[in-house]
Structure 1
């Protein structure tokens, strides 16, 4: 009998193949010309198998590892309880960025996203859901209410904005740019109170 470890690895391999096929076809054909049928065929799996891993072609592009609700909360709970919420969240974001081991693929993905208005709207929706989950996790860590208290919701929004700015700067900088370092620059500015830059001569 196949063990759970092997089954999970096979599932992860299939999901990765589907995500890679989605990106490749989007770059080659343009997003409007990509279908789930074509993605499944390119990954050498059935149409039905695609939906065992992703709810839509948009999810396969925007969330190549699959939707993972609760992951931020789990990672945040694993941080040292003595860390302030901002520092604990920073550590979690670095963990989340660690799997970016295919920088060219991520740059291509962002290029497809930037060229397609409907995808950008979907990305905003995904980001909003992620920020809501982040706010709830930060509220739980701080003993606050995400619906009643401003702090966790504002912190989640600020962290999300810092991550988006770092990603855009990283894409524009080209090969060799250090995404974690760019994120740290953004977070350091926020932690310092976003001081105004010195006047130019």
Structure 2
């Protein structure tokens, strides 16, 4: 029974990933305006109804990779030593998963630039980050010393952190990727974290 459930979950994950990859590929080829749910479903060789079982829109399918990365980031924060102060744990978790090379995968860079060029995708990206903010707030509260434990402070820290990650990528792209992303991330997180140290 457990093996069957594991297989079913793996098949679902593979279908979701296939739909995401098809959405990204087609968006880059056709542009966002010409991208349709039907085209994504066809490219992933599934029905329109199957698409709807996984995503509510083409934008959600396109940004699924961002959601996955934020979920992985949350896992890395949870895995940090409990003795670390909240902002230190957030900063370390960001570095645990950031590309530390001068020129990350060109496809990733192209996708980042594509998303940045469409307001509707930027808005969806912000919504994606915000949807996981609550879980991050809970993790931060559990790490705060008793005297500093405040839901408002945890919400501010989580929101500032997630916004900082987006700003770091945007700043890095503005610099034409001439500086390593990890360096830009350091700069942005240091500036943003000054009030949370």
TM, length-normalised to structure 1: 0.73
Task: State whether structure 2 residue 173 is matched by structure 1 residue 171.
Answer: yes
Conservation of the 8 A alpha-carbon contact between 1:76 and 1:89: yes
TM alignment of 1:73-84, pairs within 5 A: 74-84=75-85
Structure 1: gaps (5+ residues): 194-201
Task: Choose between structure 1 and 2 for higher RCO, CA contacts under 8 A separated by at least 6 residues.
Answer: 2
SS at match of 1:32: coil
Deviation string, structure 1 residues 95-154 (Cα, Å, up to 9, x no partner): 4546xxx733332322332332222222222233333432232123325342xxx32122
**Distance in 2 of aligned mates of 1:118 and 1:64:** 16
Offset at residue 3 of structure 1 (A): 4.8
Conservation of the 8 A alpha-carbon contact between 2:71 and 2:132: no
Deviation string, structure 1 residues 24-46 (Cα, Å, up to 9, x no partner): 21122221221111001112222
> 1:124: which partner in 2?
126
Structure with the larger helix share = 2
Deviation string, structure 1 residues 70-90 (Cα, Å, up to 9, x no partner): 766554333211100111122
> 1:109: which partner in 2?
111
**Distance in 1 of aligned mates of 2:5 and 2:179:** 38
Compared CA separation, residues 95 and 49, structure 1 to 2 (3 A): farther
Offset at residue 9 of structure 1 (A): 4.0
**Distance in 2 of aligned mates of 1:56 and 1:96:** 28
> 1:51: which partner in 2?
52
**Larger deviation: 61-70 or 153-162?**
61-70
> 1:21: which partner in 2?
22
Compared CA separation, residues 158 and 175, structure 1 to 2 (3 A): closer
TM alignment of 1:1-201, pairs within 5 A: 3-64=4-65, 74-95=75-96, 97=98, 103-142=105-144, 144-146=149-151, 150-174=152-176, 178-191=180-193
Compared CA separation, residues 34 and 19, structure 1 to 2 (3 A): same
Compared CA separation, residues 5 and 170, structure 1 to 2 (3 A): farther
Conservation of the 8 A alpha-carbon contact between 2:28 and 2:114: yes
Offset at residue 172 of structure 1 (A): 3.6
Report the aligned-residue RMSD. 3.3
**Distance in 2 of aligned mates of 1:192 and 1:176:** 26
